[in-house]
Amino acid sequence: MIKISDLKFGDVVLADFEGQRREGMVTDVDRAEGKACVEDNVQEFWYGPNELYPIALDDEQMRKLGFTSSENGNGSMKYMKDSFRVQLAKKGDFSSMEIWWREDHRYLNQPINVHELQNHYYQMTKVELLPVKVH
């Protein structure tokens, strides 16, 4: 379950439609009604908080968001998208990370979900972090 107040346009979530969870992107949020509209490549539909689930941040999700990566000699991993950086102390371990853009550095000491990284990115850069379309 995700709180509707945590969502914004472009956030990637899992939406439960009749027992099937599909990855989709938030296209609208109605805070008064407590619902988010999610488009999942099949349909666009309004969902309540009990029908929306977070997606754990991992290497596959970072690539879907357009990040490239490089391994550092000390076993750490860095993800880059333009001048935004995500540093993992240990490759594949998303349980703690440092994120930064310009002079804004944040240290996250617990795993986060895709929509949470998207929200940090937007707060820091004022640009939406949307999934990269693959053709």
Q: What is the tens place of the pLDDT at every residue in 107-117?
A: 999 999 999 99
CATH number of the structural domain spanning residue 26: 2.30.30.140
If asked whether residues 81 and 121 sit together in one domain, one would say yes
If one counts every other C-beta atom within 10 angstroms of the C-beta of residue 53, the result is 16
Q: Are residues 14 and 48 in the same domain?
A: yes
Task: Kindly report, residue by residue over 19-60, the tens digit of the pLDDT.
Answer: 999 999 999 999 999 999 999 888 899 999 999 999 999 999
> What is the spatial distance between Cα 38 and Cα 40, in angstroms, rounded to a whole number?
6
Round to whole Å and give the CA distance between 36 and 87. 31
Q: From residue 119, give the alpha-carbon distance in Å to each of 7, 42, 128.
A: 8, 25, 8
- Give a yes or no: residue 135 inside a domain: no
pLDDT at residue number 132: 87
| Cβ contact 23:40 at 8 Å | yes
DSSP state of 6: G
pLDDT at position 79: 98
